[in-house]
């Protein structure tokens, strides 16, 4: 923490303490407008809109003409889903500052939330004429069109957003969703290939192209695109991670292993998800000792990481250590009851332990989550067959 950060933190703590003391003692203390804004910002960041609204009301008693406080009051009302009140207040503020981008952006978001998509688009198009962050506005326009299932228009604006800011947070995620919904993969591929043609060293374009190929399940092409991105930027950790995933889908476990290790080294993060991915590369190669080592390392980072418990369970199943596998798999299903593969693995382990009632319950849970999975039906039918109830197995 720098000296300035320490000073700001100390000042915030002191101001918050004075404010909370005032509330507890039912007093009226004077605060500078900057102090009120500091308190409001704190409660916004901690996602307490009720507190933000309370601070705004107190602040407006001292500064009744503060545009900024009234705008924050509008944000709080919208967060509390009091949309009519928020829009009424925004209308008053719009008369004072008709071209305030933050105000108009909030108004557009509220219009979207209440289903007034046409007005939301009109406001966003208007903001676009003078907005400093064009990428954010273009992204929002695309998002509204996507909600309206106008995927061609949505893609058009997502592409424009990426042209304005290739690293805009959220755009690529929504673009991939839009491509999946519309199956317009070629449009995405063509867009990024054109970017690469104009700038072959655009690592973001190569990376995004790889993501689209991966979503299209052309994992070989995805690997090539990610490789170009890493060649341009050897520290591009996200490309290494996605390249690892692509290699896993190609059953190239040793190559995936290398990329996951490079990601962990360069990012400096012991991400439990990536540690589980790395563990899986060893598990797929029947190196259960190292797989277990990395699953346990993931749990050192987060005891609530269900995939790590599941991984330990499947390693035990592979070694026919049924009792241990049940222990780990029960932990996995307690943390995440909505994964049918967890329940299927647990059913298999319980069956081998002779716990047939528990196995049947686990098969039933798995079936409720994924009734089209043939592995569930086969295992369940085999359970009834070995109990001598062949007809019940056939009836499944």
Sequence-ordered list of residues with C-beta below 8 angstroms from that of 74, at least 6 positions apart, any chain: 86, 89, 90, 93, 103, 106
The whole-model pTM stands at 0.79
Q: DSSP secondary-structure letter at 80? A: T
Cα separation, 274 vs 311, in Å, equals: 13
Does the residue 192 lie in any domain? yes
For the chain, 396 residues long, give each residue's pLDDT as a single digit of tens: 343 443 455 578 888 888 888 888 888 888 889 998 999 999 888 888 999 999 999 999 999 999 999 999 999 999 999 999 999 999 999 999 999 999 999 999 999 999 999 999 999 999 999 989 999 999 999 999 999 999 999 999 999 999 999 888 889 999 999 999 999 999 999 999 999 999 999 999 999 999 999 999 999 999 999 999 999 999 999 999 999 999 999 999 999 999 999 999 999 999 999 999 999 999 999 999 999 999 999 999 999 999 999 999 999 999 999 999 999 999 999 999 999 999 999 999 999 998 988 988 998 898 899 888 888 767 767 776 666 555 554 454
Last residue within a domain, chosen from 49, 76, 98: 98
Residue 24 lies in a domain: yes
For tokens 């990536």, the residue is 274
Domain total of the chain: 3
φ and ψ of 121, to 5 deg: -65, -40
Task: Report if residue 30 sits inside a domain.
Answer: yes
Q: Among 269, 295, 324, give the residue marking a domain's end.
A: 269
What is the Cα–Cα distance from 102 to 17, expressed in whole angstroms? 30
150 inside domain = no
> What tokens does 330 get?
């029960």
- End position of a domain, from candidates 98, 121, 141: 98
Output the six-digit token pair for 359. 């196995």
Number of C-alpha atoms within 13 angstroms, CB side, residue 219? 13
Residue 205 is part of which domain span?
184-269
377: helix, strand or coil: helix
Same domain, 79 and 2: yes
User: For residue 176, is it within any domain?
Assistant: no
Gap between the Cα atoms of 336 and 162, Å rounded: 35
Please indicate, yes or no, if residue 303 is contained in any of the structural domains: no
Here the CATH number for the domain that contains residue 193 is: 1.25.40.10
Beta strands in the chain (DSSP E): none
* CA 393 – CA 375 distance, rounded (Å): 14
Q: How far apart are CA 288 and CA 294, in angstroms?
A: 10
21: domain CATH number is: 1.25.40
Q: What are phi and psi of 393, to 5 degrees?
A: -65, -40
């Amino acid at each position: 923490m720098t000296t300035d950060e320490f000073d700001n933190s100390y000042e915030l703590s002191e101001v918050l303490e004075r404010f909370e003391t005032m509330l507890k003692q039912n007093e009226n203390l004077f605060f500078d407008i900057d102090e009120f804004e500091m308190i409001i910002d704190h409660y916004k960041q901690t996602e307490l809109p009720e507190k933000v609204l309370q601070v705004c009301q107190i602040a407006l008693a001292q500064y009744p003409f503060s545009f900024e406080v009234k705008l924050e009051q509008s944000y709080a009302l919208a967060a509390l889903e009091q949309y009519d009140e928020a829009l009424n207040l925004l209308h008053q503020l719009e008369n004072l500052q008709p071209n305030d981008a933050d105000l108009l952006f909030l108004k557009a978001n509220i219009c979207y939330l209440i289903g007034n998509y046409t007005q939301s688009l009109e406001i966003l198009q208007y903001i676009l004429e003078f907005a400093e962050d064009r990428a954010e506005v273009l992204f929002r326009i695309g998002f509204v069109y996507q909600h309206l299932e106008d995927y061609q228009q949505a893609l058009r604006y997502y592409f424009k957003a990426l042209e304005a800011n290739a690293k805009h947070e959220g755009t690529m995620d929504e673009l991939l969703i839009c491509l999946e919904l519309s199956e317009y993969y070629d449009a995405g591929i063509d867009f990024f290939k054109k970017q690469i043609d104009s700038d072959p060293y655009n690592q973001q374009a190569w990376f995004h192209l790889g993501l689209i190929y991966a979503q299209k399940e052309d994992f070989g092409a995805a690997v090539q695109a990610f490789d170009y991105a890493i060649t341009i930027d050897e520290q591009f950790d996200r490309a290494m991670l996605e390249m690892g995933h692509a290699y896993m889908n190609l059953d190239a476990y040793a190559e995936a292993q290398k990329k996951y290790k490079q990601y962990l080294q360069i990012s400096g993060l012991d991400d439990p998800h990536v540690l589980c991915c790395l563990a899986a590369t060893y598990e797929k190669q029947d190196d259960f000792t190292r797989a277990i080592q990395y699953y346990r390392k993931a749990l050192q980072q987060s005891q609530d990481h269900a995939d790590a418990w599941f991984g330990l369970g499947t390693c035990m199943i592979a070694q026919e250590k049924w009792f241990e596998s049940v222990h780990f798999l029960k932990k996995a299903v307690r943390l995440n009851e909505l994964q049918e593969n967890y329940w299927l693995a647990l059913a298999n382990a319980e069956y081998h332990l002779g716990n047939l009632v528990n196995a049947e319950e686990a098969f039933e849970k798995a079936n409720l989550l994924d009734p089209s999975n043939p592995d569930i039906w086969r295992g369940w039918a085999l359970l009834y067959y070995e109990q001598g109830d062949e007809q019940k197995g056939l009836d499944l």
